[in-house]
Structure 1
């Protein structure tokens, strides 16, 4: 797949660069805040090859891509002038239009998303170390254990630094000043001083001895205050000294203020939050497990799951463990089980492929492909997964399962659940996965009759399967002779070229229109057999911006051999100085053995014959 082309199509679909307030990505989704959501062509985007679905939630326009989201975001960011690290373009007046809940969810999402994978990975490492110690393979006093534990624990210990850096990016604050502020809270000499028996004062005011390692809320509050202080200082200092004096004065004010007021306040809020969650859990653990196991993926759909991330990380910081994470793993495995049920039952080739890959990504903690591409699309599998997740969650919650480190809810997180309730969470995971898969297999996949187009194609498969006809009459020439190095080199795929003597492009296959370019000079098709065909009219004709071209079909439209696709004014294009040679490219060349043929079948001149490898 050409991710740059997909990125450009998505950019056009959301209304172009001018309609984007901010853009970033998480593990599976492109996330936009659009200035005018009505300009986005949602149905067109959902039909793009490579897009699973579109979700509108928490004030965000989310395009679900799956595991390749970073590959799509990179050219998208380049097109709109962003970088992976600085993926925000939003203006203050646009922020003010959002309600406070959406702003909070968006803030938490943008703060945790950049490093969630690293934090989860180090959490798994800590869990594995706990496992090898339990098995007696390593001693906690050994140098090997201490070094590996440092590798696993350092990220969480210095969590305030990473939070400061990402929060500053979202709030438009100097990221290095914010990181320095967090670093001051973790400074070894200061920690030792505050832990001593003598009180520490700042101009006569006693500093509360609070530990900030692994904390969440204090630094987020501090950076939020910094976002108001920095603009004031920028206005106060002349631009000739601003770059030095604004950071200096910011730290002179914010470090003492955080140690004296913001830090203790944030710590108190965190302690209250953790104790409240623990109290609710202790009163009704089965109910808590059932609710979280059943509704977690619903929270994911609406984007509000981000509000639980600071709660869970804060629990581990304050209590040393978290009760929520094991329940969430049950919900994740339930969705994976439903995807497995679909994979085993469905006869739809595309759905089977998506469901199969979704099982693997699901058990590893990424459920969006399973939810949006499989279970939610078929409805009943999602319902069965919700029920199974509730049952498994009740078992895990009732057994007192808890996580000793933060990581993504998944099978990989199992070592972090070692200790009290471990058997209950394993039991809950197995029941949720198996029950969801079995229920989906027998009751969750409706029989889907084939469309007439697909039936007709399969009836004629002996004639047309994996054969590509000439989309226009003219003189056939080797692709290598085309005066365009990209096509001639085969970089786009193998194919053939035609010097046309007609002005109408027809479909060379039975299938679907996969992509239409805004300039109308090219069109992407995919056959029912899976052949991906790109028809490109002329060389450099994209510069005409659609002039002299007429589009006759829409993206997602079913087509058959001979369906008119594009008409163009050949003479006008030539007079404008452009070569009108038509290229027919098989973009998934790697999947086929391709041979050229001059056979004539049913009055159609077959150009290419493909055999799947």
Structure 2
């Protein structure tokens, strides 16, 4: 339990266990539901070494920590004695039901967005291919590939069933059976159905977002009830069938119509806003305010809204365009600072976070630059607002929830005007925010009130990021493609692999050798700022028992970046049947905001391969 002391301190400062009703987390923060917020010692919480900031609003009492929150929450649960779902209600079953539904919407949507974004990108690629004349839209090749896109959206309830059942601890196979049953020809959109004489409404479940969610939440409570009623000796045989034959009719009778009403209600709200104020106003406001909403922890509230739009309308008239414009405006704002700054360290920070935002990951920029300097929020409000205003007035719609690299998906079915207008809106957002940030300027460091990054070891002000050089010359290999689950899953930290082209391994940073395996196939180096780097040569090469490996250093030695530290005969390692890939990971990744690998296809020991964002 690496964060046990921190968790105990935080629990005490929010008012003790008795003041905590529930605790959940998102990507960077713990969300507390407190009985009495007034007794929480907010300023003292802000002073805790792992805390970036505290936000208290109608959403929750939120303690912003960083990506290590994923490791902190399980320890917090264990100390508080909470279950994995962390659900405690203040009063009444209805409130508990609604609270759980809202919570899992944001936590379960991430995995679902992956295939949907892939489908959107595929749609854009197919549109471009069709436009170029390489493949006809009526050809079998086109139809086969387009079947992927159609299947993702048609079988969305099945994807939802998998993700939400995992979040709630429901048997995912039973959840999928319910979803597939709802999608069957005999039920999906069928007319004139009845169950035991009770007439069922006509519901198209392939175009409905909420019924399957309500069904899975119901399955959770039904499972617990059956476990109390049915003798344990009979549960294995009878509980699954009872869950299915009870959940399905309840869904057909109640959750199907209710889910449809919820979806129609959301569409009505946005139709009303569009007809009254103009939908452009919502696009403009969200594109301008998204970084602020992310900061206060309210960025995920749009997920059920735009997912409902895709499920019922087939497109999103508001949020997809708005968030892409906002993301690129964040990139533009940080780039404005990059060109304005003359400080080398600042330029490194701004350049790294700008690239991250360009790739669609804005958290490093928001927490590393926006929270500190404040003025970039204004720059995005200007640039993002202008881009969003243009997109809204041009009635740009999104056909898939994709990022900047999925702009081709805005073509849809030969809607090229929609695509052109979106491109212009993105350019407006980027240039507008960049110019605004450049003009607004960078506050002097002594005027910045936000807490600086602090070294855990020294307590002194630390750098905002650390660059890690490649330990060997070779071809860049994504960590996820390394043939070792411990590394490819990032369980040992974020990093990358390098297919080596030479035998000598060099120190990637200035630091101390804190560990050296007796077989010389792996070495650990720690920098003065506490960054812990593991260099591991080959897969399963420990079995060579040191053969073909040589060390030039010993544990406790000080090394400088570029020093030769190890040598491995890569040819002999290959001949012995082992993969010689050189893996470099930051083993204490959770202590930092992010670890960004280089995108360069080839690297040498004089080039940076990792960026540790403090």
TM-score, scaled relative to structure 2: 0.64
1 CA distance for matches of 2:41 and 2:408? 44
1 CA distance for matches of 2:249 and 2:560? 62
2 CA distance for matches of 1:367 and 1:374? 10
Q: Is the 8 A contact 2:288 2:382 kept in 1?
A: yes
SS in 1 for 2:84: coil
Aligned equivalent of 1:132: 129
Q: Is the 8 A contact 2:410 2:419 kept in 1?
A: no
Aligned equivalent of 1:358: 353
Change beyond 3 A, Cα 1:272–1:494:
closer
Q: Is the 8 A contact 1:363 1:411 kept in 2?
A: no
Q: Is the 8 A contact 1:335 1:385 kept in 2?
A: yes
Residues 375-433 of structure 1: per-residue CA shift (max 9 Å, x gap):
231111121111211111111000010011233x4343442355253333222211111
Q: Is the 8 A contact 2:45 2:54 kept in 1?
A: no
1 CA distance for matches of 2:400 and 2:447? 49
Change beyond 3 A, Cα 1:485–1:328:
closer
2 CA distance for matches of 1:532 and 1:300? 27
Change beyond 3 A, Cα 1:297–1:76:
closer
Residues 160-198 of structure 1: per-residue CA shift (max 9 Å, x gap):
12222332333343333222211211124544xx54xx6
Structure 1 residue 338, shift from structure 2 partner: 0.6
Change beyond 3 A, Cα 1:165–1:494:
closer
Change beyond 3 A, Cα 1:9–1:95:
farther
2:289 pairs with 1:295: yes
Aligned equivalent of 2:492: none
Structure 1 residue 334, shift from structure 2 partner: 0.9
Aligned equivalent of 2:120: 123
2:401 pairs with 1:406: yes
Structure 1 residue 140, shift from structure 2 partner: 2.6
2:311 is aligned, of 291, 310, 317, to 317
- Any residues of structure 2 matched to 1:438-457 within 5 Å, and which? 438-448=435-445
Structure 1 residue 77, shift from structure 2 partner: 8.2
RMSD, aligned CA: 4.1
Structure 1 residue 138, shift from structure 2 partner: 2.5
2 CA distance for matches of 1:123 and 1:12? 45
SS in 1 for 2:399: coil
Q: Is the 8 A contact 1:289 1:398 kept in 2?
A: no
Structure 1 residue 96, shift from structure 2 partner: 6.7
Structure 1 residue 341, shift from structure 2 partner: 1.4
- Any residues of structure 2 matched to 1:177-326 within 5 Å, and which? 177-191=174-188, 194-195=189-190, 199-283=192-276, 284-324=278-318, 325-326=320-321
- Any residues of structure 2 matched to 1:440-479 within 5 Å, and which? 440-448=437-445
Structure 1 residue 437, shift from structure 2 partner: 1.0
1 CA distance for matches of 2:411 and 2:204? 25
2:396 pairs with 1:393: no
Aligned equivalent of 1:508: none
Q: Is the 8 A contact 2:203 2:257 kept in 1?
A: yes
Aligned equivalent of 2:452: none
Q: Out of 262-271 and 126-135, give the one that drifted further.
A: 126-135
Structure 1 residue 252, shift from structure 2 partner: 0.3
TM-score, scaled relative to structure 1: 0.65
2:567 pairs with 1:525: no
1 CA distance for matches of 2:366 and 2:86? 33
2 CA distance for matches of 1:152 and 1:590? 51
SS in 2 for 1:208: coil
2 CA distance for matches of 1:258 and 1:342? 53
Report how many aligned residue pairs link the two structures: 461
Structure 1 residue 262, shift from structure 2 partner: 1.4
Larger Rg: 1
Aligned equivalent of 2:60: 59
- Any residues of structure 2 matched to 1:408-447 within 5 Å, and which? 409-416=403-410, 418=412, 419=415, 420-447=417-444
Q: Is the 8 A contact 1:338 1:440 kept in 2?
A: yes
2 CA distance for matches of 1:189 and 1:59? 43
Change beyond 3 A, Cα 1:13–1:365:
same
Structure 1 residue 120, shift from structure 2 partner: 2.2
- Any residues of structure 2 matched to 1:144-155 within 5 Å, and which? 144-155=141-152
SS in 1 for 2:134: coil
2 CA distance for matches of 1:88 and 1:155? 32
SS in 2 for 1:421: helix
1:175 is aligned, of 169, 172, 176, to 172
Change beyond 3 A, Cα 1:304–1:122:
same
2:348 pairs with 1:342: no
2 CA distance for matches of 1:16 and 1:34? 17
Change beyond 3 A, Cα 1:147–1:230:
same
Aligned equivalent of 2:549: none
2 CA distance for matches of 1:41 and 1:594? 44
Structure 1 residue 439, shift from structure 2 partner: 2.0
Residues 453-480 of structure 1: per-residue CA shift (max 9 Å, x gap):
xxxxxxxxxxxxxxxxxxxxxxxxxx99
Structure 1 residue 16, shift from structure 2 partner: 8.6
Change beyond 3 A, Cα 1:41–1:14:
farther
Q: Which runs of 5+ in 2 are unaligned?
A: 12-16, 449-511, 534-553, 566-604, 608-614
Structure 1 residue 90, shift from structure 2 partner: 4.1
Structure 1 residue 590, shift from structure 2 partner: 8.5
Q: Is the 8 A contact 2:106 2:303 kept in 1?
A: no
Structure 1 residue 12, shift from structure 2 partner: 4.5
2 CA distance for matches of 1:278 and 1:62? 36
Q: Is the 8 A contact 2:54 2:61 kept in 1?
A: no
Aligned equivalent of 2:498: none
Aligned equivalent of 1:163: 160
